[in-house]
Amino acid sequence: MSSGTGGGMDERCTGVVERVVFHSQESGFTVLRVRIDECSDPVTVTGVLPVVSEGESVDGRGSWVHDRRYGLQFQTVELAVVPPATEEGIERYLASGMVRGIGSHFARTLVRAFGPEVFSVIEKDPERMLELPGIGKKRMQMVVEAWDEQKAVRDIMVFLQSHGVGTARAVRIYKTYGDQAIQIVSRNPYRLVLDIQGIGFRTADAIASTLGIEPNSLVRAQAGIRHVLVELSGDGHCAIRRPELLSAALRLLGIGEEIISEALKEEIIRGAIVQEEIDGSECCFPANLFRAESTVASRIASLCGGKLPWGDVDADDAIAWVGTSTGLELSPSQASAVQTAVASKVLVITGGPGVGKTTLVNSILSILKREDIKVALCAPTGRAAKRLSESTGMDASTIHRLLEFDPCSFDFKHNRTNPVRADLVVVDEASMIDIVLMQKLLLAVPDDAALIIVGDVDQLPSVGPGSVLSDIITSGAVPVVRLTEIFRQAEASRIIVNAHRINRGELPVNPESTETSDFYLVPASGPADIFSKVMQLVLERIPAKFAMDPVRDIQVLTPMNKGGLGTLALNSALQKALNPSSKDGISRFGTMFAQGDKVIQQVNNYDKEVFNGDIGMISSLDADGKKLTVLFGSNTIDYEFGELDELSLAYATTIHKSQGSEYPAVIIPLSMQHLMLLQRNLLYTAVTRGRRLVMVIAESNAVLKAVRNGSAGGRLTNLAERLRAEFR
């Protein structure tokens, strides 16, 4: 390996990555510690890479500079991952996770025994490995099989790495495209954005540039427009106004407006984008979200028609029966809601904590079960489904499990032609359901079945696009029961009382100084003070005073991922403090994973049946087998190291990710650093996640800002109007 140390921008630095200090998924900016021949200690190299892992070889062009804060470093203008060319590089490459069955120890043994010929030995004469101590036939066979799997990948990897794609992504690209990978990527690298988890527009654009695709090409402009729409749907919108779409694409692509307009026209002609007027403005929908909204509206209208599955029920008699046979005492508002429920084929029940939603649902189910109907209960997350099951005493499942995902068709088994077998479908935590999932659910509800939608409309809307619960209520198309009365037993909880105060735009109140409470507002002077108090509460004060486990029972909920009070910084500090094994873990995609870590699933994985927001614990880590195992409740899920971009640490999560979950104790850091996110529904959602204890650690101005900011900046959708049109 070599490096230059002159003064121009054409110096080169080539070496093996010892540690990924920092890597931004968004921008690709990377800080590496790289071992080169000329230096006894690793050197710092900075530059832009889509993906990089420890053990890979990199080659950079740039110059050596002395940063006043970070010291000597090699700043690159071009940085790429390259195939290993030395024994050290080969050893690190073998130990990097590419070949199952080869860990760091075995990689060292192989390279010492066979030197640069090690690849040839594994491929052509693998039985020579049996000469090595500790290598049996089982280990040899594992390595050979894993190596055979890589045969077709190698040329593809060299091609992709030469265009800035790292090992893990290269494997995923091969699994998606097979032997056609090079051909597909060369023809249109922007397909990667649609087909490959973890590859965004900027990465595909960088690959396109190295392949010689012109900046003003139509294919690039079309990809840029799609990217803008995807980004907007990531913010919850189902559509974007046409002028805003053109303007955003212009900023992203830096090309002429006429090319962007032509690209938009082509996307509309081929049906990928649908134009529709909303409130007098021409808007553009991704076709899938347009179809989802249209389907949800038409299915709700269809379900509202027809006879009730349970026939005529005498509501007054049923309410009296509930009181005598189940012991459930209904308030006047709940009794009125029961009357509405037994007369409605589609019903929405909404309200905050402590207002009796559970009692109402149980009363309705008790009444309707007398009519011998089949009920299906579901919720968006496993935790929410478990709570629904516990509160009703009936089986409940996630929506995904109810619909039964089929990995062969990559769709749900239950659909319009194969509906679920139920006379009544009850879906809880509906504020979490995005427009696409609601579309899939409603397609699977039989025409002659009834539907009850339960949720708290004042919570944050879904992580995915749409404002489904809010739009259904706003449309006025179906009956809505809104419970507001806080019941006496709930008034004893300061969590519930303060949640309702926040929802009304009032500041939460603290207990008297001598009073033990389930809610505390802890003042802090600034971000550093907040950080210190969060750490002290997690590590010392809550475990000591409330006998709670700092990992299992305490959840830190923060508004954002970045910054000193974001999930990244908090997770790093909490991991070091709470998991001594973290120093022996493995680093992938910029995160250190170790046995005992609390982790969260970042995307829906239908094959593994784990979904966005599921939290689990790493139960084992197999460095040789290149996999780790996560326990999600009672389900054990294996991840290959190349799949670990699906996971992140979960000692701290965003408030958005906490939707549908409850935790024994919740700590909420709030700072003016979070200014753009400080909204009433954000704080309300966070507070209502705590079951036994909530602590808000905050600057006073931050709490005041959040409570007063009741305008959450609505999402651009058209579901409410579609529903009104269906019922005209």
Binding site: residue ranges?
Answer: 354-358
How far from the centroid of its chain's Cα atoms is residue 46's Cα?
28
In the sheet with 647-649, reading across from the earlier edge strand, the strands are 635-640, 627-632, 615-622, 598-601, 647-649
- Count Cα neighbours of 564 within 13 Å in the Cβ-side half-sphere: 13
Q: Which H or E run contains 720? A: helix 719-727
- Smallest CA-to-CA distance from 557 within 409, 687, 691, 370 is with 687
Sign of CA dihedral 393, 395, 396, 397: positive
CB 419, CB 274: distance < 8 Å:
no
Q: How far apart are CA 328 and CA 361, in angstroms?
A: 11
Q: Which H or E run contains 203? A: helix 201-210
- Smallest CA-to-CA distance from 292 within 435, 399, 417 is with 435
Distances (CA, A) of 168 to 33, 56, 147, 225, 639: 20, 11, 15, 27, 13
Q: Which amino acid is at 321?
A: W
- Smallest CA-to-CA distance from 461 within 294, 273, 670, 679 is with 679
DSSP single-letter state for residue 94 = I
Q: How many CB atoms sit inside 10 A of residue 77's CB?
A: 12
Distances (CA, A) of 137 to 120, 122, 130, 133, 627: 18, 13, 7, 12, 21
> Buried b vs exposed e over 594-618: b needs ≥16 C-beta within 10 Å?
bbbbbbbbbebbeebbbbbbbbbbb
Q: Which amino acid is at 17?
A: V
Q: Which amino acid is at 303?
A: L
Sign of CA dihedral 294, 195, 562, 596: positive
Task: Locate all alpha helices (DSSP H) within 662-699, ordered by sequence.
Answer: 680-687
> Could you tell me which residues are annotated as the binding site for ATP?
354-358
Task: Locate all alpha helices (DSSP H) within 370-475, ordered by sequence.
Answer: 382-392, 399-403, 435-444, 468-475
